[in-house]
Amino acid sequence: MTDHIVKIYNVLVFRIDDLWPGLPQNIVFQLSEAPYKPPRGFAHCLYRPGSPVFLQVAPQLGFEHPSRIVGVLSHELGHAVTILTGCCPVDRRQSELVADELGSLIAGSPVRYDRQWVQVIDGSGSSRPLDLDPIGSEILTID
């Protein structure tokens, strides 16, 4: 099932390269061995200043509907874009909203949230609630 994740990731990365040429060279995709935290802990970005952004994805994401896979990956890639372009909002909630906006641009469809507050792009969800906290640290900066 991880083949689904990789195929969708590759399509999204091509879109990023169209929008920000060369930027995807600084994003490293990894299937994570870290414990999956249902229902929203499918993926996160790791970043160390001066290094690429590592996008770690739980293999369980491959069992989800393609709309969820695209929603989650495009949102996380939105975080990667903000990091790599140096446009990271300081406020965590603002960072999540910016990741949704960039994710929508990358996916070519609005990133929305389903009933379990997981990102989707099927148009059926709602906007991110302002009080929805990020899971732990979706962007982990390693000093």
Pick from 37, 20, 48: which is nearest to 72 by CA?
A: 37
CA distance 45 to 78: 10
CA distance 5 to 131: 29
In this prediction, residue 73 carries a pLDDT of 96
Number of domains in the chain: 1
Pick from 89, 63, 58, 66: which is nearest to 11 by CA?
A: 66
Mean pLDDT of the chain: 85
- Measured in whole angstroms, the distance separating CA 16 from the mean position of its chain's CA atoms is 12
The tens digit of pLDDT for each residue in 49-104 reads: 889 999 999 998 999 999 999 999 999 999 999 999 988 776 777 888 899 999 99
**Residue located via tokens 């990023």:** 16
Is the pLDDT score of 26 beyond 90? yes
Instruction: Name the residue range of residue 96's domain.
Output: 2-141
Give how far Cα 57 sits from Cα of 43, 60, 87, 95, 100, Å: 4, 8, 23, 19, 17
In this prediction, residue 114 carries a pLDDT of 85
Calculated CA dihedral for residues 14, 16, 17, 18, nearest 10 degrees? 90
